[in-house]
Amino acid sequence: LQLRHGGSYRCGGWVRTGWSPWVKSAPVTVRVHGVPLSGVSVRAQPPGGQVALGDRLVLSCAVATGTGPLSFSWHRGGSRAPLGTGPRLELRHAGDNDSGHYQCRASDGDSVAESVPLNVTVL
C-alpha cells in the first residue's frame, strides 16, 4: 500500500436478477497515512567499524519504520556535505583519513531521521 492508493472506491458486478444487470456498491473512502521515519541505524562490515589500512569497509543504513520512497545520505564528523547517497557506503581501500564518526541520514521527502554515529577506526 502506498500513499497514492488513497481515494474513493466502489465495486460493481453483473447481476442476473432485477431490472438492471449492472449493480454498483456505495463508495467507500480509503485514507492512507504515512508512517514517520524512525530507527535509522548503521551496520559495518567488518563488524565494529575497525578496518585495516588498505582494506575494504562497507557501511549499511537501515530504517526500522517509515513510509517510502526513501533517500539516503552519508556524512562524517557532522559535515553537511554528503560522502555518498544510497543505503550503502563503500570504502574500497580505507586510508588514514577515513577514520571518524559516520552517520546515515534517511529522508522520506517530508522528514529526515539520522542514525547514531558509528566510529570507524582505520588500523
| 44-65 tens-digit pLDDT | 999 888 999 999 999 999 999 8
pLDDT of residue 110: 80
3: left (phi over 0), alpha (psi -120 to 50) or beta: alpha
pLDDT of residue 93: 93
Q: What is the pLDDT of residues 10-51, one digit of tens each?
A: 998 877 776 667 788 899 999 887 788 889 999 999 988 899
pLDDT average, residue stretch 92-110: 91
Query: How far is the C-alpha of 15 from the C-alpha of 58, rounded, in Å?
Result: 60
Please provide residue 3's backbone torsions phi and psi, each rounded to the nearest 5 degrees: -55, -35
Quick one: which of 37, 12, 28, 60 has its CA closest to 109? 37
The domain over range 38-122 is classified in CATH as 1.10.10.10: no
pLDDT of residue 14: 79
pLDDT of residue 18: 65
Quick one: which of 49, 57, 64 has its CA closest to 101? 49
pTM above 0.85, yes or no: no
